[in-house]
Amino acid sequence: MANLHLMDDKDLVHLYQKGDQLAISELVSRYKQRIYSTIYFLVRNRELAEDLFQDTFIKILTSLKNKHYSEQGKFLPWALRIAHNLVIDHFRKDKLMPLQHDSDEYSVFDVLPQKGRNAAEQMIYDEKITQVRALLDQLPFEQREVVILRHYAGLSFKEISNMLEININTALGRMHYAILKMREMVQKQDINLRE
């Protein structure tokens, strides 16, 4: 039997389309963190992020079954485009298009306790995630979106520009201004999460 971990995305998609369930399990496992993080930091609510994450993969499965996936594109940018569209649809539907400072309340219950962390470690992690969210939340949506897609989704600036239909220099400019703003906040509040 082929080692699924070593197979590229295109071959896993082919296998799934031929009926191999393990192939989709490998794709989910490969990209779950990048896709979930992206959704989570965009919507800033764990329950909603979990729902949109599931909706994203259900849509992916339907597209793959119906052979609507184009092999010319890469799997991850395609999957993230689906996730991003669902997030934007959600905001449009609820007229909640996020603006700067639209949500400054955080709950540690928004973060799932991770396996292998004791209570003290979980508390430290909760504190870190609150601070990272505070850093991201001060950014205008367009800047936050680029930071999340580059940093947590792992898309290149070129892929981000394709996805958001903007010039690559615009994507880089948004990232640059986002870094300046976060840098100011880190310095002002003496944030050091790296230790």
Partner 1 sequence: MIKTTTQKDLLLYVYNETKLLDSDRIQRAIDGDPLLSNDYQEIVRITETLDVVCPAPSEEAIRNILLHA
User: Which residue in 9, 13, 26, 40 binds partner 1 (CB under 8 A)?
Assistant: 40
Whether the CB-CB separation of 139 and 103 falls below 8 Å is answered with no
Nearest to 159 by CA among 34, 25, 41, 36: 34
Cβ-based neighbours of 128, under 8 Å, separated by 6 or more:
193
Binding string, 79-118, against partner 1, x = CB under 8 A?
--------------------------------xx-x----
Which of the residues 143 through 162 are near partner 1 (CB under 8 A)?
147, 150-152, 156-158
User: Which residue in 17, 37, 45, 122 binds partner 1 (CB under 8 A)?
Assistant: 37
Q: Is 49 in the site for partner 1 (CB under 8 A)?
A: yes
Find the shortest distance in angstroms from Cβ 112 to partner 1. Answer: 6
Q: Is 57 in the site for partner 1 (CB under 8 A)?
A: yes
Find the shortest distance in angstroms from Cβ 131 to partner 1. Answer: 8
Residue count, binding to partner 1 (CB under 8 A): 47
CA atoms of 53 and 42, how far apart (whole Å): 12
Q: Is 129 in the site for partner 1 (CB under 8 A)?
A: yes
Cβ-based neighbours of 44, under 8 Å, separated by 6 or more:
103, 106, 110, 133, 137
CA atoms of 27 and 153, how far apart (whole Å): 15
User: Which residue in 9, 41, 77, 86 binds partner 1 (CB under 8 A)?
Assistant: 41
Indicate the residue among 47 and 92 with the shorter CB distance to partner 1. Answer: 47
Find the shortest distance in angstroms from Cβ 23 to partner 1. Answer: 9
Find the shortest distance in angstroms from Cβ 11 to partner 1. Answer: 17
Q: What are phi and psi of 122, to 5 degrees?
A: -65, -40
